[in-house]
Structure 1
Amino acid sequence: MIQEVIQWIIDYKEVISAVGVIIAAIGLYFNWRRTSMAVKENKEKKNEKKKAYLRIERSHAPSRSKRGYKDVLIIENTGESDAKNIQFYINGKTANEHGLFFMSEVPDRITSKNSITINLMIHKQTAPPWKIKIVYDDDFEDGREFETIVN
């Protein structure tokens, strides 16, 4: 019986070798695929840490005067990177061209995980809704844009 098995192995050694090579190639392919996916995920995580994500909302804050509330825009950076060189557009125009009066300046930078509050003075010609576009730089890319409609 053992001699028959040995003879069978000798007769089919090329087939056995080919099957071994095929199994090794399949293993290498799956290892390469898993490694390349891990490298891609790692690169995406590194890129996420380089990005600033902005969001904006209009709110009402209590006023110091006895008139009630004042309008404010709250711009929040929820990303891992600072937003720098901020340019603010309302309906395609800068704030001064649009006529909306900011009671406080839009800063040049919003640090990571922070927000800023901008006091507004609104009149009939500048009433919402506004299409707001913010162009900014972060560690991932220069000239990134955020657009939204604010009511």
Structure 2
Amino acid sequence: MYAGGGSGVLAQALSDVDVSPIEGQSGWLVRNALNDRLGAGRQNGGARYRLDIRLDDKVEGLGQLSNDTITRERRTVRARYQLVDIASGNVLLDATAGSDAGFDVVNSEYAVIAAEQTALENLSQEIADQIVTRVSVRLREAK
């Protein structure tokens, strides 16, 4: 699929994908991860494709003690995305990606915030990988 490395047909097609802005911190992280993987900025002219993404990011309590104290949380990030051909306006791909991560809630508020942030960063990378894989397959089929 990646024959030719950075100058191959698929790498060139991926660099023609522009990622639309995504709301929130999780959106910023996912967009940056996607731009890193797609090689944004390598294209010479304007983008040929646009990737529109909507994220659903939530944190929910899982483990609970007898005094109703939450001991474990799960962060779930889901992405609904569309790959659009800019010239024609046709939607080439309409799919979802998602992942979740669990972390312990401890007495240190700093530790909990750090664990939650680390989970979000890791989930953003995983979602970006899923999206790029599906987009790559779709663009490969189109060539």
> Common fold, TM-score beyond 0.5?
no
User: TM range, normalised to the smaller chain?
Assistant: under 0.3
More helix by share: 2
TM-score between the two structures when normalised by the length of structure 1: 0.26
Choose 1 or 2 for highest CA Rg: 1
